[in-house]
Structure 1
Amino acid sequence: MKKINLIVLLGTISISTIGYSQDTLTISKKDIWQKASDKNLQIKIANQDYKSAQADYRQSNSLFLPSITASHTAISTTNPLMAFGSKLNQEILTASDFNPDMLNNPAKTQNFATKFEIQQPLINIDGIYGRQAAKSKMEAFQLQTERTKEYLELNVSKAFMQLQLAYKAIKVLEKADVTGKANLKLVENYFKQGMLQKTDLLNVQVRVNEITNQLQYAKSNIQNASDYLGFLLNEDTTNKVFKPIEELDNTISIEVVNTQLSDNRKDIQAMNKSTEAYQKMLQSSKMNFFPRLNAFGSYELYDRTLFGTSAKGYLVGAQLSWSLFDGYKSIGKMEKAKADFQKSEIETQQYKAQSQLDLNKTNRQLKDAENKVNLSKLAFEQSQEAYRIRQNRFTQGLEKTTDLLQSETQMIQKELEYLQSVFEYNFTKQYLQFLTR
């Protein structure tokens, strides 16, 4: 009996209660995948990660585009230097302003300056590699998002098959309930005729109660399977359950699945892109030791009144700068970038080895699952025949009640085991396809 309970658990489904007032929503596998791809929270998180990386890449446009600022400054001063400079900018200096007393003790001077500044990068080699690193990072997140969608598709398929298995288990137990009650009616008739003892009747009653309890327990699993599917679909499943349109197929299809790890797999491509990004960052840190060339310019307006434009002037120029020594900062930054790059290479190598290990393991599991399906199907068919024979012999008074109950229990157990083995095979095959996708 414990084995049957474990099978009905369906591996990941726990206890809950289904109310009779719940809504039953029919779903198809195609529809739920479309909903999941649009509404799943993990997909939304992955999309936001990609958008964040995309924004980082767009920031690198500043490597080619100018930076333009505008400002308006108002001052009032008696500072000799500032007062003289303000008048000079306003183009209102007179000969009397060169009087030493006026220079040393100027009157309060007001100045309003409107300034437009532009800075244009020309040659920044480190920035070019930094931009390439940002692009590789963005592409890595894009690939990872696509892999997340593939993983979600696998999980949705698994949850859908679990729901199918739950409904199939209910059908098996409902059939067992009908059979048990029919046997109980037969035993009650034999007991009334004095052909069986009361212990036989009690054993059958206990068996019928056990099936009824298992049936209610299996029905509660429908809610848990629906809750998990609702979580993947980002839908509230309170007071409602899902019911698959397609039933669990009891047959399996043997297909040849590629067992070689492909470098075209989205997650492996993402790892390679991530390593490429670290490599570009290392090159960028090396280019820090090269000079930078930037152009700049400004256009200025001065007046004694707010937003006045009586005096004008401009400034243009270019700057070649070279950081010769910054206290070991650039060297340390380069060493860190080198360590990060080498770490990323090792992590990629480890991930590929782990992926190949999982692939080999899953390939063996698929073969084991195929063998289990064949054996469990044979065992189920044999248990059906054994129960049929015992039931016929029991009606003829040639079998004990306990033997009949044991045969019935075994038949139900083998049928549930067969359904479970079909589910395991189909999921293992899909998981293997996911690993080689």
Structure 2
Amino acid sequence: MAFFCPYISVNSNYLIKGSLLAATLAVTTATAAAGEISTLRQSVDYALSNNRMLAANAQSVEQASAGIADATGRLLPRVDLSTGVARSNAPGDYFGMKLNQRSITAADFNPAVMNNPGYINNYQSRVGVTMPLYQGGALWAGRKLAEHRAEASLYGHSFMRQQVVFQVISAYARVRQSQAQITAMQRAVTAADKRYRDTQEMQKRGMLIMSDVMDANVHQLRTTLKLEEAKNSFASSKEMLERVMGLNGDVTLNTEEDPQLKMPVLALQEAINHGLANRPDLKAVEEQYLASSAAVDQSRASFLPHVNLVAAQEWNASTFGVKNRNTMVGATVSMNIFAGGSDRAKHRAAQAESVSLEYKSADMKQQIHNEIGQAWRQLAESRLRYESESEALKQSEESLRIKSLRFEQGLAKTSDLLDAQVQADSARVAAIRAKYDLTVAEAALLLATGTLDEGVIQ
């Protein structure tokens, strides 16, 4: 199965990391500092700086970046410094310490002394250097593995930022929708109250019967209930928006501006090509695949020789101090001959993960294709619905006006008037919903193509 992905250098990794983390962790708006957020752009900026899950994910990016430094450090010499003291009366230790302290004398070769030398103190300070010359390619493969994992983490964080932007836009749109519905239902309740009073007066004058008054009362009660539902919906939507933004009570949220997005005009195939080229989550999987290939190389190194240079310098004395220097330089060669099959098992596991990620990448491309197609069609449907519902609202309001005039002239029944009122109220609510559904559909298509950020907000 063919698989292609452009390689990204460590330098670009740090560049991407710097821009992403700066956008995520250092976004500060003037309005937030003033203690009030009133626009969608301000809400998004605040969320990118304060969303808790996004902040937690930023630490995963930092962990992955630290992995590069760790892998790079393993390629460099290791220097260890130690100091300590030992006291022994073992003959072998005694003569060894004496020799290292360069203090042995002819009297020390007396058999009585050699067999029962007494105690000796040895203060030893040591500097050791180990330099890996060849590890079968494991260290370089480990560095590539760390780089690609860091890249994958960055791309994953980028996609999570886009998801947060989408969540804020969606929640903000629902808050504005609920606010508009409250206003519409307040008008409807006012109208229903008036209808009820008018029917009562007309019933008293003998122009209507009691059932007309009952119908008007039922309409009034149902309209009042819908107003309460709209208020509850507003409270829930605002709570959701506050949670996505990560509000901590340090600012006041006033959703006063209607959301507007900059939407590019894209044909379906253009949108699909855009998504395949820009989706950060797809790039993250491709980087994971490259990391798995490096892991295969790293596991293969277990079957090759490992060569290290070693050097040490130590000082030994009967009292604390840097005296009697001894130096050692050498090389070690080791090779795994048999480890019970564990190394071969690790190699097989790394190969299986690489194949798995190759399949996953191909499947994600198909998933992105489907997601963009669905989002593109949903946006077209939302635009048509908004136009249709807007026109339906105009028609229902005109119908209500005509029937109201006919009712006042005694040419229409109360039930006809109430039906027209209900239809107008429903059309108004549907038009409001269609308006904000269109905004959410626009954001969904931008998210599907991997181009949703704070810059798309007008």
Please state whether the residue corresponding to 1:299 is helix, strand or coil: strand
Task: Say if 1:163 and 1:243, in contact at 8 Å, map to a contact too.
Answer: no
Please state whether the residue corresponding to 1:263 is helix, strand or coil: helix
Which residue of the partner structure matches residue 149 of structure 1?
Answer: 161
Please state whether the residue corresponding to 1:259 is helix, strand or coil: helix
Task: Say if 2:127 and 2:314, in contact at 8 Å, map to a contact too.
Answer: yes
* 2:334 aligned with 1:324: no
Write the distance in 1 (CA, Å) between the matches of 2:213 and 2:262.
41
Q: Residues 93 and 45 from structure 1, CA distance in 2 versus in 1: closer, same or farther, beyond 3 angstroms? A: same
* 2:120 aligned with 1:106: no
Which residue of the partner structure matches residue 53 of structure 1?
Answer: 64
Write the distance in 1 (CA, Å) between the matches of 2:36 and 2:65.
39
In structure 1, what residue type is equivalent to 2:213? Answer: L
Write the distance in 2 (CA, Å) between the matches of 1:409 and 1:333.
69
Write the distance in 1 (CA, Å) between the matches of 2:258 and 2:185.
16
Q: Residues 311 and 253 from structure 1, CA distance in 2 versus in 1: closer, same or farther, beyond 3 angstroms? A: closer
How far residue 116 of structure 1 moved from its aligned partner, in angstroms, is: 1.4
Task: Say if 2:181 and 2:429, in contact at 8 Å, map to a contact too.
Answer: yes
Please state whether the residue corresponding to 1:69 is helix, strand or coil: strand
Which residue of the partner structure matches residue 34 of structure 1?
Answer: 45
* 2:266 aligned with 1:256: yes
Q: Aligned pair count?
A: 411
* 2:407 aligned with 1:394: yes
Write the distance in 2 (CA, Å) between the matches of 1:398 and 1:81.
124
Task: Say if 1:144 and 1:267, in contact at 8 Å, map to a contact too.
Answer: yes
Which residue of the partner structure matches residue 7 of structure 1?
Answer: none
How far residue 204 of structure 1 moved from its aligned partner, in angstroms, is: 1.3
Query: Which of 190, 195, 202 is the matching residue for 2:207?
Result: 195
Query: Which of 288, 294, 309 is the matching residue for 1:280?
Result: 294
Please state whether the residue corresponding to 2:276 is helix, strand or coil: coil
Query: Which of 346, 349, 361 is the matching residue for 1:348?
Result: 361
Task: Say if 1:230 and 1:237, in contact at 8 Å, map to a contact too.
Answer: no
* 2:386 aligned with 1:373: yes
Write the distance in 1 (CA, Å) between the matches of 2:262 and 2:356.
44
TM-score computed with the length of structure 2 as normaliser: 0.85
* 2:134 aligned with 1:120: no
Q: Residues 364 and 277 from structure 1, CA distance in 2 versus in 1: closer, same or farther, beyond 3 angstroms? A: same
In structure 1, what residue type is equivalent to 2:220? Answer: V
Write the distance in 1 (CA, Å) between the matches of 2:77 and 2:37.
58
Task: Say if 2:276 and 2:365, in contact at 8 Å, map to a contact too.
Answer: no
Q: Alpha-carbon deviations, 1:201-229, whole Å to 9, x = none? A: 22212322322232233123222111111
Write the distance in 2 (CA, Å) between the matches of 1:61 and 1:26.
45
Task: Say if 1:252 and 1:426, in contact at 8 Å, map to a contact too.
Answer: no
Q: Residues 172 and 285 from structure 1, CA distance in 2 versus in 1: closer, same or farther, beyond 3 angstroms? A: same
Write the distance in 1 (CA, Å) between the matches of 2:61 and 2:152.
8
Moved more, 392-401 or 289-298: 289-298
In structure 1, what residue type is equivalent to 2:99? Answer: L
* 2:228 aligned with 1:223: no
Which residue of the partner structure matches residue 96 of structure 1?
Answer: 107
* 2:149 aligned with 1:133: no
Write the distance in 2 (CA, Å) between the matches of 1:309 and 1:426.
76
Write the distance in 2 (CA, Å) between the matches of 1:344 and 1:256.
30
Q: Residues 204 and 26 from structure 1, CA distance in 2 versus in 1: closer, same or farther, beyond 3 angstroms? A: farther
How far residue 252 of structure 1 moved from its aligned partner, in angstroms, is: 12
Task: Say if 1:222 and 1:241, in contact at 8 Å, map to a contact too.
Answer: no
Q: Residues 141 and 253 from structure 1, CA distance in 2 versus in 1: closer, same or farther, beyond 3 angstroms? A: closer
Task: Say if 2:177 and 2:436, in contact at 8 Å, map to a contact too.
Answer: yes
Query: Which of 328, 348, 370 is the matching residue for 1:335?
Result: 348
In structure 1, what residue type is equivalent to 2:69? Answer: R
Which residue of the partner structure matches residue 417 of structure 1?
Answer: 430
Gaps of 5+ in 1: 1-23
Task: Say if 2:296 and 2:351, in contact at 8 Å, map to a contact too.
Answer: yes
Which residue of the partner structure matches residue 174 of structure 2?
Answer: 162
Write the distance in 1 (CA, Å) between the matches of 2:73 and 2:94.
37
In structure 2, what residue type is equivalent to 1:278? Answer: S
Please state whether the residue corresponding to 1:262 is helix, strand or coil: helix
Please state whether the residue corresponding to 2:254 is helix, strand or coil: strand
In structure 2, what residue type is equivalent to 1:256? Answer: L
How far residue 241 of structure 1 moved from its aligned partner, in angstroms, is: 7.6
How far residue 321 of structure 1 moved from its aligned partner, in angstroms, is: 2.5
Write the distance in 2 (CA, Å) between the matches of 1:26 and 1:202.
46
Percent of aligned pairs with the same residue? 23
Write the distance in 1 (CA, Å) between the matches of 2:384 and 2:128.
76
* 2:443 aligned with 1:430: yes
How far residue 320 of structure 1 moved from its aligned partner, in angstroms, is: 2.8
How far residue 298 of structure 1 moved from its aligned partner, in angstroms, is: 1.2
Task: Say if 1:63 and 1:128, in contact at 8 Å, map to a contact too.
Answer: no
Moved more, 420-429 or 125-134: 420-429
Which residue of the partner structure matches residue 187 of structure 2?
Answer: 175
Gaps of 5+ in 2: 1-34, 451-458
Which residue of the partner structure matches residue 21 of structure 1?
Answer: none
Moved more, 64-73 or 128-137: 64-73
Write the distance in 1 (CA, Å) between the matches of 2:407 and 2:262.
35
Which residue of the partner structure matches residue 18 of structure 2?
Answer: none
Which residue of the partner structure matches residue 257 of structure 2?
Answer: 246
How far residue 26 of structure 1 moved from its aligned partner, in angstroms, is: 5.4
Which residue of the partner structure matches residue 86 of structure 1?
Answer: 97
Which residue of the partner structure matches residue 69 of structure 1?
Answer: 80
In structure 1, what residue type is equivalent to 2:315? Answer: L
How far residue 63 of structure 1 moved from its aligned partner, in angstroms, is: 2.6
Moved more, 288-297 or 90-99: 288-297
Please state whether the residue corresponding to 1:244 is helix, strand or coil: coil
Which residue of the partner structure matches residue 19 of structure 1?
Answer: none
Write the distance in 1 (CA, Å) between the matches of 2:180 and 2:287.
45
Q: Alpha-carbon deviations, 1:360-417, whole Å to 9, x = none? A: 2222222222332233223222221221111111111121111111110111111111
* 2:416 aligned with 1:403: yes
Q: Residues 253 and 400 from structure 1, CA distance in 2 versus in 1: closer, same or farther, beyond 3 angstroms? A: farther
Task: Say if 1:26 and 1:245, in contact at 8 Å, map to a contact too.
Answer: no
Moved more, 166-175 or 66-75: 66-75
Task: Say if 2:40 and 2:259, in contact at 8 Å, map to a contact too.
Answer: no
Which residue of the partner structure matches residue 301 of structure 1?
Answer: 315
Write the distance in 1 (CA, Å) between the matches of 2:345 and 2:47.
46
Write the distance in 2 (CA, Å) between the matches of 1:187 and 1:301.
109
